[in-house]
Amino acid sequence: MKTCKTCKKELPSLSFGRLKISPDGLNYLCKPCNSARGLVRYYEKKDEIIAHTHEYRAENYEHRIEIERKSRAKNKEKWRLARNARQSIRNKVVQGEKYLILPKDLRRIYSSPCLECGSTENQSLDHTIPISRGGSHGVGNFSTLCLPCNISKQGRFFSEWRYAKSLILQK
């Protein structure tokens, strides 16, 4: 049993966090009091803390990205679950609408150049209206994009994608 310095309640030692420099190895504040103290400090210096956080993230962007990549590599099973969940939702949408796609339709689509850059190499099938945005998995919703263009388009409409590209080019 230990007494909290703030609320003066005698609580079991499990109610206190660890603090290496204290003689008994436990914090002098109970967990609820320590949490309240942190919130008070945060709201007193909120603008300063937010500005410092933005500055730190801007300065250490590459380092943070590297940490995230290592985390993904280390926790592949965790990330695989999220990716599989997204894919299963997409599959349900695609399976809900049964369209027959004939080989001649695919040949016609693949024979046309990339809609954006005109390349005829690395052709890939693109959904003009993305499935994630309510598009169908039918011939009328297919277009041809080269692989780099298709990857950069992601789940956006053509107009959104071209607008984003124009903003990047203006910088």
pLDDT in tens, 97-135: 667 788 888 888 888 899 888 888 888 888 888 888 888
Average pLDDT along the chain: 86
Residue 32 is assigned to a structural domain of this protein = yes
pLDDT for the residue 140: 85
Q: What is the pTM of this model?
A: 0.44
Residue 143 is assigned to a structural domain of this protein = yes
Least confident of 34-43, 56-65, 127-136: 127-136
Nearest to 133 by CA among 107, 161, 106: 161
Query: Domain of 154: which CATH number?
Result: 1.10.30.50
Residue 54 is assigned to a structural domain of this protein = no
Residue 55 is assigned to a structural domain of this protein = no
45, 62, 77 - which closes a domain: 45
Residue 125 is assigned to a structural domain of this protein = yes
Residue 93 is assigned to a structural domain of this protein = no
Residue 91 is assigned to a structural domain of this protein = no
Q: How do residues 65-94 score in pLDDT, each as one tens digit?
A: 899 889 888 888 777 777 777 777 767 666
**What are residue 18's phi and psi, to 5 degrees?**
-85, 145
Here the contacts of 148-156 (C-beta below 8 Å, separation 24 or greater) are: 148/122, 149/114, 149/115, 149/116, 149/117, 149/119, 150/124, 150/126, 153/126, 155/130, 156/130
Three-point CA angle 163, 166, 167, nearest 5°: 90
Domain range enclosing 8 = 2-45
13, 28, 45 - which closes a domain: 45
Greater model confidence, 165 or 40: 40
Tokens of 49: 């803390």
pLDDT for the residue 103: 86
Q: Residue 30: pLDDT above 90? A: yes
Alpha carbons 9 and 15: distance in angstroms, whole number: 11
Nearest to 124 by CA among 153, 147, 105: 147
Residue 89 is assigned to a structural domain of this protein = no
Number of domains composing the chain: 2
3-state helix, strand, coil in the chain (%, to 5): 60, 15, 30
